[in-house]
């Protein structure tokens, strides 16, 4: 089961687009979206997946919305998405508990000096999955001349490697 959980967390984008995701029982959905290990580009993916799950069978699932939304890290959404998408959603607006969660997220975003007092599971960033992230250093200056070199840094191994140079020298 741990292997399946790890796969689901690391491949969340693919999983959330499957019909099996839409069929998850509420407790499994909450377990999944609560995980700090969930590999998402942004919390918007989590919100969108929850809303897709909800709308798949809204008549039976609406009762769980505020319970589920507590596990979406609303304070980590972009202000534009929070106000323009989440805050305007009629399903969310019709539920007092959901509106309270949206208000809490707005306060977090609008009052940066208060953030130390607002820390908790909803404000904790998810652990990024950096399996495929690399940093490239391209071109630059050496002894007053532009250079064509390209170097790659792998944060997993803390290793720099010289890779194929560019066809032209570049700087700036």
- Domains of the chain, with CATH numbers? 2-118 (1.25.40.420), 130-172 (no CATH)
Is the pLDDT assigned to residue 166 strictly greater than 60?
yes
Nearest one of 81, 26, 92, 80 to 56, comparing CA atoms: 26
Contact (Cβ atoms closer than 8 angstroms) between residue 11 and residue 40: no
Would you place residue 83 in the very low, low, confident or very high pLDDT band (cuts 50, 70, 90)?
Answer: very high
Range scoring the smallest mean pLDDT among 15-19, 93-97, 129-133: 129-133
Burial class (CB in 10 A: 0-12, 13-18, 19+), 102: buried
Residue range 31-72, pLDDT digits in tens: 999 999 999 989 999 999 999 999 999 999 999 999 999 999
CA distance 26 to 60: 11
Contact (Cβ atoms closer than 8 angstroms) between residue 70 and residue 98: no
Is the pLDDT assigned to residue 159 strictly greater than 90?
no
Determine the pLDDT at residue 35: 94
Residue range 119-144, pLDDT digits in tens: 999 999 988 665 567 888 999 988 88
Determine the pLDDT at residue 46: 97
CA distance 125 to 89: 24
Helices of type H across the chain: 2-10, 12-16, 19-22, 26-34, 43-56, 58-61, 65-69, 79-81, 90-93, 96-110
Determine the pLDDT at residue 91: 97
């Amino acid at each position: 089961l741990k292997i399946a959980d790890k796969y689901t967390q690391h491949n969340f984008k693919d999983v959330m687009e499957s019909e099996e995701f839409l069929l998850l029982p509420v407790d499994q959905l909450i377990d999944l979206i609560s995980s700090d290990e969930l590999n998402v580009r942004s919390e918007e993916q989590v919100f969108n997946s929850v809303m897709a799950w909800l709308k798949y069978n809204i008549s039976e699932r609406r009762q769980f919305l505020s319970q589920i939304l507590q596990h979406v890290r609303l304070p980590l959404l972009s202000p534009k998405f929070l106000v323009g998408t989440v805050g305007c959603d009629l399903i969310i607006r019709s539920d007092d508990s959901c509106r309270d969660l949206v208000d809490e997220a707005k306060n977090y975003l609008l009052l940066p000096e208060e953030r130390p007092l607002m820390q908790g599971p909803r404000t904790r960033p998810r652990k990024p999955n950096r399996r495929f992230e690399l940093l490239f250093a391209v071109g630059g200056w050496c002894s007053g001349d532009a250079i064509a070199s390209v170097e790659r840094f792998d944060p997993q191994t803390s290793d720099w490697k010289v890779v194929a140079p560019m066809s032209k020298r570049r700087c700036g």
